[in-house]
């Protein structure tokens, strides 16, 4: 029996006068890849924001690795084991690829502030950066600013950062946005590898259903801020309610 | 020779406060326009403590710096509580508020007439000694700048400007990072203010204020890259440019205004160039 990583109970998120998420309960097991789909404005990103601490939780309970997150600030939640990808790519475009990964390593390994003056640590960090960049086919851009990368390469860099974090739960928001069809396979492999080879649990918001159905273990469909359908990709794909959600 | 010493001293003092300007404006993207308040506040508080309350001079200097640092902590708190735009307005208005305070409480601050006869302590009685002290402090400030750039904090500061939420998701607090930048900025600006008051040995409401802010902004924009070298060159350029006016035959009463006008024109030009540069970068990406 796999351990539950994320537990959400009766989550309600209200922004202004509008209730964005209503009575959402779900649990995510260790090593799973779970996809969240739903029409625009159904509260998928707000759900991620509520879990990661960027949107206030009205009522309900969110716990990660057995720790209640509700009152923790976003960086404390990250320290509890949560990492997050963003819709508009969570990388620093004015930093080099190397610096982006160094930041992830510094935080994950809690390196001392003077580490760059220690040859031993510098060598270890450099090896880790190069190995990761190679794994994500970005090694040739090591010293380039992230801002010069294509949309797909930026996403791969984001995945590389997520891999280096010490988080065991990754929330990835629309990874295929701005990614060419050729790079989508590579991105899909990278996300699979995060789960299979690096032991991460992944929750993905995605509009590209084909991409998602081939990648995930479980699908959750949101409609009007509520959990509408939940099941295996093969089951959800056949569910007539899915067509109803997307095509009316 | 006195003129040259004066320029060197000004250059070194602005170099010290330039580090805080560079870190706040350029790297962290924090429009801490109240840096001149730290500059004036430390000078006023140490002078008042010494002259009005009889506190021993070195203790008064230390207290002035510590009080300024605490003022910086208050600004850090405010930065973390209000929006970025509100903070910019708030920090700018603090210059005006401090100016109004200084002008109004003349029993304490000397009002518009200021406080004259600020005597240098024994340790830096001559201008040469003061320059040596300024040099040591500015080298310290540059070392601090260099180490910060190379350290995790330097990356966090840059991350704060570009993507504060991503910084948080990495496990670093944006509030702690901002507090570090603002309070260290106040500390450096206060050091610069203390050294400058012992250079001119006279304190009035025009000490610091908007002209000081314009100089700081010009240095930060010119320096652009977070490098020690570019900061030194930018400070040298900003300090030397208005000195050229001295060699033109303007009436002496006009020189002070022309200096301010030169700095303002320089700042407008720099802002114009910077916005063009950023627009073209955005188009390319």
Tens-place pLDDT, residues A93-107:
999 999 999 999 999
CB distance A205 to A36 below 8 Å: yes
Asked, for residue B272, whether it belongs to a domain, the answer is no
pTM above 0.80, yes or no: yes
Number of domains in chain B: 1
Asked, for residue B247, whether it belongs to a domain, the answer is no
What is the predicted ipTM? 0.92
**pLDDT tens per residue, chain B (285 residues)?**
778 898 999 999 999 999 999 999 989 999 999 999 999 999 999 999 999 999 999 999 999 999 999 999 999 999 999 999 999 999 999 999 999 999 999 888 888 888 988 889 988 889 999 999 999 999 999 999 999 999 999 999 999 999 999 999 999 999 999 999 999 999 999 999 999 999 989 898 888 888 889 889 889 888 877 788 999 999 999 898 888 877 777 777 777 778 778 888 888 887 887 777 665 555 444
CB distance B42 to B16 below 8 Å: no
Contact A103 B170 (CB under 8 A): yes
Give the rounded distance of the alpha carbon of B144 from its chain centre. Answer: 16
Asked, for residue B254, whether it belongs to a domain, the answer is no
Q: Does A151 touch chain B (CB under 8 A)?
A: no
- Residue closest to A224 by CA, chosen among A31, A22, A55: A22
Q: Does A99 touch chain B (CB under 8 A)?
A: yes
Q: Which tokens is A8 given?
A: 């959400």
Which CATH number is A215's domain given?
A: 3.40.50.300
Number of domains in chain A: 1
Q: How far apart are CA B184 and CA B20, in angstroms?
A: 7
Point out the residue among A107, A113, A116 whose CB comes nearest to the CB of B171. A107
The residue segments making up the domain with residue B20 are 2-209
Q: Which tokens is A138 given?
A: 């970005």
3-state secondary structure of B117: coil
Point out the residue among A75, A106, A108 whose CB comes nearest to the CB of B168. A75
Contact B285 A53 (CB under 8 A): no
Give backbone dihedrals phi and psi of A12, rounded to 5 degrees, phi first: -125, 130
CB distance B134 to B16 below 8 Å: yes
Asked, for residue B125, whether it belongs to a domain, the answer is yes
Contact B158 A83 (CB under 8 A): no
Query: Chain B partners of A54 at a C-beta cutoff of 8 Å?
Result: 165
Contact A75 B169 (CB under 8 A): yes
The residue segments making up the domain with residue A12 are 4-247
């Amino acid at each position: 029996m796999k351990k539950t990583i994320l537990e959400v109970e009766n989550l309600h998120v209200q922004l202004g006068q509008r209730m964005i998420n209503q009575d959402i309960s779900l649990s995510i097991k260790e090593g799973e890849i779970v996809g969240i789909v739903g029409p625009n404005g159904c509260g998928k990103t707000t759900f991620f924001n509520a879990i990661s601490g960027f949107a206030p939780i009205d009522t309900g309970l969110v716990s990660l690795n057995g720790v209640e997150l509700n009152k923790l600030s976003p960086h404390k939640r990250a320290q509890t084991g949560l990492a997050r990808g963003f819709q508009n790519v969570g990388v620093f475009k004015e930093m080099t690829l190397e610096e982006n990964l160094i930041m992830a390593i510094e935080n994950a390994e809690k390196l001392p502030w003077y580490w760059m003056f220690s040859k031993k640590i510098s060598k270890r960090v450099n090896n880790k950066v190069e190995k990761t960049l190679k794994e994500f086919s970005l090694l040739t851009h090591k010293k380039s600013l992230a801002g010069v990368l294509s949309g797909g390469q930026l996403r791969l860099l984001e995945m590389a950062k997520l891999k280096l974090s010490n988080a065991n739960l990754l929330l990835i928001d629309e990874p295929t946005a701005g990614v060419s069809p050729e790079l989508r396979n590579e991105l899909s492999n990278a996300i699979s590898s995060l789960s299979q080879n690096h032991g991460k649990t992944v929750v993905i918001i995605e509009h590209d259903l084909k991409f998602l159905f081939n990648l995930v273990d479980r699908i959750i469909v949101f409609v009007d801020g509520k959990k509408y359908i939940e099941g295996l990709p093969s089951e959800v794909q056949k569910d007539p309610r899915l067509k109803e959600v997307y095509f009316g | 020779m006195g003129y040259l010493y004066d320029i060197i001293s000004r250059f070194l003092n602005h170099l010290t406060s330039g580090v805080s300007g560079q870190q706040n404006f350029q790297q962290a993207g924090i429009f801490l326009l109240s840096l001149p308040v730290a500059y004036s506040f430390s000078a006023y508080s140490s002078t008042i403590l010494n002259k009005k309350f009889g506190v021993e001079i070195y203790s008064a200097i230390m207290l002035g710096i510590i009080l300024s640092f605490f003022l910086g902590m208050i600004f850090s708190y405010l930065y973390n509580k209000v929006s970025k735009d509100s903070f910019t307005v708030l920090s700018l208005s603090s210059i005006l508020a401090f100016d109004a305070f200084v002008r109004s409480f003349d029993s304490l601050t000397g009002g518009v007439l200021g406080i004259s006869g600020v005597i240098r302590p024994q340790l830096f009685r001559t201008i040469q000694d003061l320059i040596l002290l300024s040099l040591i402090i500015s080298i310290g400030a540059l070392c601090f700048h260099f180490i910060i750039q190379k350290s995790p904090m330097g990356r966090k500061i840059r991350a704060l400007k570009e993507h504060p939420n991503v910084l948080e998701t990495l496990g670093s607090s944006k509030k702690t990072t901002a507090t570090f930048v603002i309070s260290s900025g106040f500390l450096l600006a206060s050091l610069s203010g203390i050294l400058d008051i012992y250079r001119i040995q006279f304190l009035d409401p025009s000490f610091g204020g908007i002209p000081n802010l314009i100089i700081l902004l010009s240095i930060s924009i010119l320096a652009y890259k977070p490098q020690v070298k570019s900061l030194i060159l930018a400070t040298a350029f900003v300090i030397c440019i208005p000195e050229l006016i001295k060699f033109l035959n303007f009436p002496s009463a006009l020189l002070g205004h022309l200096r301010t006008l030169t700095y303002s024109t320089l700042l407008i030009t720099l802002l114009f160039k910077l916005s063009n540069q950023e627009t073209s970068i955005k188009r390319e990406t």
